[in-house]
């Protein structure tokens, strides 16, 4: 077998595992024969005659391609015309056009912050914002979804960073809820931080003249606004994206935003069409009102919370149910797509329904006929989101003060009793006490909705599963993989002529969660964070991909500072924040104080060496420590 064939065989096997787990994706082209409940063309401008004609005129005048980066003479005069029109619409000094929203988010974050700075990011932010933090190489701290109190706590812990940036979507792309922008801005202002707001799903839909959710604040917090990102491919019906802010910001991006500097300008057809779409969107008040009315009726008809804008998610839980629902919609002539992990958290696969100004009441009735029977047989799961209050008020064009009075947001971790959730126990090294901490957490989980234990990969003859079962008197699942050699998983598997099947481990974890039903599944990793499962995939890669909540375990004594600080840095570079740091061994006050100061972990718990390691000893330790934040953070 050639190297090419070997790679293709591996890729095919990986795809087969994704297919078996219900996660494989296919390109499915949109069809004019289907009723659109899936695209982001909220106002119907993608097919508007004036937008199409404007694109054609730009093509005829300046040609098909952008030809080069704008700094090398690429693009057309329509680029600056679109930027100026967009800035006037949003009441900003300037804007800069990028080829895509992904490039805009990566570019602005990377240009504003870097090593030594801190990015605070909502845990449900779009992938482009997550990747932007990685590219910037700033320390990333994740705050709970739409939770300004958690943001304020974490802002207080960031230390003396050179620059602190808070990033949020205004309307979230998968849940459709509205961020509490006033409260987030107030928390940023108190810390001297800056705010970046991604308005992709709010532009053209919310605010006076469709100027977005930020415009609802009426300028009250503009002093902390670093930038807004608005896309041309949603309500504007074209493509591309703008970073909107001050003239100084635009000039800075021209120098520092690598995803702008080193990319070809958009086609003249794009910027020409955007010029027309901006003018139409500003005047589309009737279309906005109709869109809001249809979205409210859709949500009400499905028993969902009032949407903030146009997105109405129907959470069905499993990947299979979501795919079955999408197929049923397709059979009825409706384009309604299933969204599955990793786009959304495991257990929250859904139909992401989107209303448009061109939908009508008959379209809604056809959709109700498909979705209502599914909900009647399997009630929809509650979304990881806040109540309807803020969304409903914002959708009606609320002022900043009305937004502040909207119903406070809560988070799905406060409702975790409705389904099982994982909690990963990761470590800075091997032999540091992860299994003892896992037993403590498995034992404590019994008082927090129930729980169980699972070792992802076991190597060597000793069974951590049996040890936890004995100490915690709790339910356990068989290890996802077990190899006899006491070595790293990839080496232990190679000794048996095998390899760790990463996709199978992910599928097994989801199976265990489904079987557990409610409570917390304690998942223990092997060795340190970066221990390899295969030649090309580490445990850290798995954590970054799956994004499960986690705790970090380290030794308390000599050598812990370097290992622990580097482990925290590795996690945060991947947009991961441990709920707690467990220090195992004889208490070391100096190390604990240093880690609290430099590591900036909100919760540090010390686990001493037990004179007699027993269930009673675990219970005594648990009785002296508040672990509610570990299970419900």
Given pLDDT bands bounded at 50, 70 and 90, which one contains residue 289? very high
Given pLDDT bands bounded at 50, 70 and 90, which one contains residue 399? very low
| pLDDT recorded at residue 398 | 37
| pLDDT recorded at residue 161 | 76
Greater model confidence, 73 or 546: 73
| pLDDT recorded at residue 303 | 87
Angle at 506 between CA 503 and CA 508, to 5 degrees: 110
| pLDDT recorded at residue 3 | 62
Q: Rounded to whole angstroms, what are the CA distances from 218 to 92, 187, 283, 308, 404?
A: 13, 18, 19, 18, 13
Query: Is residue 448 flagged as an active site residue?
Result: no
Residue 13 lies in a domain: no
Given pLDDT bands bounded at 50, 70 and 90, which one contains residue 589? very high
The catalytic residue among 234, 455, 490, 588 is 234
Nearest of 148, 606, 616, 585 to residue 410 by alpha carbon? 148
| pLDDT recorded at residue 388 | 31
The catalytic residue among 123, 150, 169, 319 is 169
In a shared domain, residues 455 and 599? yes
Greater model confidence, 39 or 600: 39
| pLDDT recorded at residue 417 | 37
In a shared domain, residues 245 and 275? yes
Query: Is residue 126 flagged as an active site residue?
Result: yes
Examine the pLDDT at 387 and tell me if it is beyond 60. Answer: no
How many structural domains is the chain composed of? Answer: 3
In a shared domain, residues 252 and 355? no
The catalytic residue among 40, 359, 556, 591 is 40
Q: DSSP character for 595?
A: I
**Residue 527 sits in a domain of what CATH number?**
3.40.50.300
Distance CA(264)–CA(342), nearest Å, equals 30
Paired tokens of 201: 């799903």
Query: Is residue 173 flagged as an active site residue?
Result: yes
| pLDDT recorded at residue 409 | 34
Given pLDDT bands bounded at 50, 70 and 90, which one contains residue 597? confident
Task: Tabulate helix, strand, coil % of the chain (nearest 5).
Answer: 45, 15, 35
Given pLDDT bands bounded at 50, 70 and 90, which one contains residue 378? low
Q: What is the pTM of this model?
A: 0.68
| pLDDT recorded at residue 624 | 93
Phi, psi (rounded to 5 degrees) for 123: -65, -15
Residue 189 lies in a domain: yes
**Residue 364 sits in a domain of what CATH number?**
3.90.1150.10
In a shared domain, residues 319 and 253? no
In a shared domain, residues 297 and 266? no
Distance CA(92)–CA(32), nearest Å, equals 37
Nearest of 311, 298, 337, 316 to residue 391 by alpha carbon? 311
**Which residues touch 334 (CB under 8 Å, ≥6 apart)?**
34, 35, 37, 363, 366, 367, 370
Greater model confidence, 160 or 153: 153
In a shared domain, residues 437 and 566? yes
In the chain, the percentage of residues whose pLDDT exceeds 70 is: 91
Element (H, E) at 489: helix 489-495
Query: pLDDT by residue (tens digit) across 445-481?
Result: 988 889 999 999 999 988 999 999 999 999 999 999 9
Examine the pLDDT at 389 and tell me if it is beyond 50. Answer: no
Residue 22 lies in a domain: no
Q: What is the mean pLDDT of residues 215-237?
A: 97
Examine the pLDDT at 59 and tell me if it is beyond 90. Answer: yes
Query: Is residue 575 flagged as an active site residue?
Result: no
The catalytic residue among 175, 183, 198, 464 is 198
Distance CA(32)–CA(40), nearest Å, equals 15
The catalytic residue among 76, 105, 121, 173 is 173
Distance CA(242)–CA(227), nearest Å, equals 10
Strand partners, 521: 422, 452
Last residue of a domain, one of 231, 252, 282: 282
- Sign for the CA dihedral angle at 34, 40, 42, 47 comes to negative
| pLDDT recorded at residue 575 | 78
On average, the pLDDT of the chain sits at 88
Residue 406 lies in a domain: no
Q: What is the mean pLDDT of residues 178-198?
A: 97
Last residue of a domain, one of 353, 380, 407: 380
Q: What is the mean pLDDT of residues 272-301?
A: 96
In a shared domain, residues 459 and 525? yes
Using CB atoms within 10 A of its CB, is residue 34 exposed (0-12), middle (13-18) or buried (19+)?
A: middle
Q: Which of 126-130, 177-181, 263-267 has the lowest mean pLDDT?
A: 126-130
Given pLDDT bands bounded at 50, 70 and 90, which one contains residue 546? confident
**Which residues touch 58 (CB under 8 Å, ≥6 apart)?**
76, 78, 268, 269, 271, 272, 273
Residue 12 lies in a domain: no
In a shared domain, residues 535 and 481? yes
Given pLDDT bands bounded at 50, 70 and 90, which one contains residue 491? very high
Paired tokens of 549: 């909540």
Q: DSSP character for 382?
A: P
Examine the pLDDT at 291 and tell me if it is beyond 70. Answer: yes
Query: pLDDT by residue (tens digit) across 549-560?
Result: 999 999 999 889
| pLDDT recorded at residue 380 | 56
**Residue 58 sits in a domain of what CATH number?**
3.40.640.10
Given pLDDT bands bounded at 50, 70 and 90, which one contains residue 272? very high
Q: Which of 177-191, 259-273, 323-337, 341-355 has the lowest mean pLDDT?
A: 341-355
CA dihedral 183, 186, 188, 193 (to 10 degrees): 150
Distance CA(23)–CA(512), nearest Å, equals 17
Distance CA(570)–CA(249), nearest Å, equals 30
In a shared domain, residues 147 and 276? yes
Paired tokens of 353: 């329904």
Last residue of a domain, one of 260, 282, 304: 282
Paired tokens of 402: 């009305």
Q: Which of 97-101, 402-406, 604-608 has the lowest mean pLDDT?
A: 402-406
In a shared domain, residues 264 and 332? no
Residue 85 lies in a domain: yes
Using CB atoms within 10 A of its CB, is residue 212 exposed (0-12), middle (13-18) or buried (19+)?
A: buried
In a shared domain, residues 264 and 353? no
Query: pLDDT by residue (tens digit) across 254-266?
Result: 999 999 999 999 9
In a shared domain, residues 449 and 376? no
| pLDDT recorded at residue 4 | 60
Identify the domain containing residue 355 by its residue range. 285-380
Greater model confidence, 398 or 238: 238
Query: pLDDT by residue (tens digit) across 438-452?
Result: 999 999 998 888 999
The catalytic residue among 154, 201, 356, 455 is 201
Residue 38 lies in a domain: no
What is the widest separation between alpha-carbon atoms in the chain?
Answer: 83
Greater model confidence, 246 or 29: 246
Residue 25 lies in a domain: no
The catalytic residue among 117, 125, 126, 154 is 126
Using CB atoms within 10 A of its CB, is residue 617 exposed (0-12), middle (13-18) or buried (19+)?
A: middle
| pLDDT recorded at residue 633 | 52
Q: Which of 163-167, 530-534, 608-612 has the lowest mean pLDDT?
A: 608-612
Greater model confidence, 505 or 49: 49
């Amino acid at each position: 077998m050639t190297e090419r064939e070997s790679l293709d065989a591996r890729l095919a096997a990986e795809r087969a595992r994704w297919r078996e787990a219900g996660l494989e994706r296919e390109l499915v082209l949109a069809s004019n024969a289907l009723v659109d409940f899936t695209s982001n063309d909220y106002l119907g401008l993608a097919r508007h005659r004036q937008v199409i004609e404007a694109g054609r005129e730009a093509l005829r005048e300046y040609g098909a391609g952008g030809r080069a980066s704008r700094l090398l003479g690429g693009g057309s005069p329509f680029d600056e015309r679109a930027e100026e029109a967009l800035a006037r619409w949003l009441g900003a000094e300037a804007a800069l056009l990028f080829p895509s929203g992904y490039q805009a988010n990566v570019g602005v974050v990377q240009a504003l912050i870097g090593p030594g700075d801190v990015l605070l990011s909502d845990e449900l932010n779009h992938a482009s914002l997550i990747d932007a933090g990685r590219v910037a190489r700033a320390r990333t701290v994740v705050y709970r979804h739409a939770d300004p109190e958690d943001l304020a706590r974490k802002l207080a812990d960031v230390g003396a960073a050179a620059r602190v940036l808070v990033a949020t979507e205004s309307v979230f792309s998968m849940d459709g809820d509205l961020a509490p922008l006033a409260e987030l801005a107030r928390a940023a202002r108190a810390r001297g931080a800056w705010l970046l707001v991604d308005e992709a799903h709010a532009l053209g839909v919310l605010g006076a003249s469709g100027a977005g959710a930020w415009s609802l604040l009426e300028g009250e917090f503009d002093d902390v606004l670093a930038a807004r990102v608005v896309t041309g491919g949603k309500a504007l019906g074209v493509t591309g994206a703008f970073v909107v802010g001050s003239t100084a910001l635009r000039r800075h991006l021209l120098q520092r935003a690598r995803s702008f500097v080193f990319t070809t300008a958009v086609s003249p057809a794009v910027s020409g069409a955007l010029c027309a779409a901006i003018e139409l969107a500003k005047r589309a008040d009737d279309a906005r009102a109709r869109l809001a009315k249809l979205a409210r009726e859709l949500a009400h008809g499905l028993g969902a919370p009032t949407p903030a804008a146009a997105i109405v998610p129907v959470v069905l839980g499993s990947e299979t149910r979501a795919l079955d629902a999408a197929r049923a919609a397709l059979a009825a002539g409706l384009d309604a797509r299933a969204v599955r992990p990793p786009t959304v958290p495991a257990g929250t696969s859904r139909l992401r329904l989107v209303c448009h100004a061109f939908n009508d009441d008959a379209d809604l009735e056809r959709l109700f006929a498909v979705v209502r029977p599914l909900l009647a047989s399997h009630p929809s799961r509650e979304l990881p989101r806040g109540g309807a209050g803020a969304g409903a008020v914002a959708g009606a064009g609320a002022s900043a003060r009305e937004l502040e009075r909207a119903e406070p947001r809560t988070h799905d971790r406060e409702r975790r009793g409705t389904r099982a959730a994982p909690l990963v126990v990761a470590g800075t090294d091997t032999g540091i006490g992860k299994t003892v901490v896992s037993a403590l957490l498995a034992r404590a989980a019994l008082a927090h909705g129930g729980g169980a234990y699972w070792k992802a990969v076991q190597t060597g003859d000793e069974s951590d599963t049996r040890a936890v079962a004995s100490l915690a008197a709790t339910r356990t699942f068989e290890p996802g993989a077990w190899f006899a050699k006491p070595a790293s998983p990839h080496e232990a598997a190679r000794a048996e002529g095998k390899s760790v099947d990463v996709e199978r481990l992910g599928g097994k974890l989801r199976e265990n969660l489904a079987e557990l039903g409610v409570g917390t599944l304690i998942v223990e990793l092997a060795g340190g964070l970066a221990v390899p499962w295969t030649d090309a995939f580490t445990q850290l890669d798995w954590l970054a991909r799956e994004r499960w909540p986690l705790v970090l375990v380290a030794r308390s004594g000599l050598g812990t500072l370097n290992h622990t600080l580097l482990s925290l840095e590795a996690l945060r570079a991947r947009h991961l924040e441990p709920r707690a740091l467990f220090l195992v061994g004889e208490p070391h006050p100096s190390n604990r104080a240093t880690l609290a100061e430099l590591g900036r972990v909100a919760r540090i718990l010390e686990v001493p060496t037990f004179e007699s390691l027993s269930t009673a000893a675990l219970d005594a330790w648990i009785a002296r420590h508040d672990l509610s934040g570990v299970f419900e953070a």
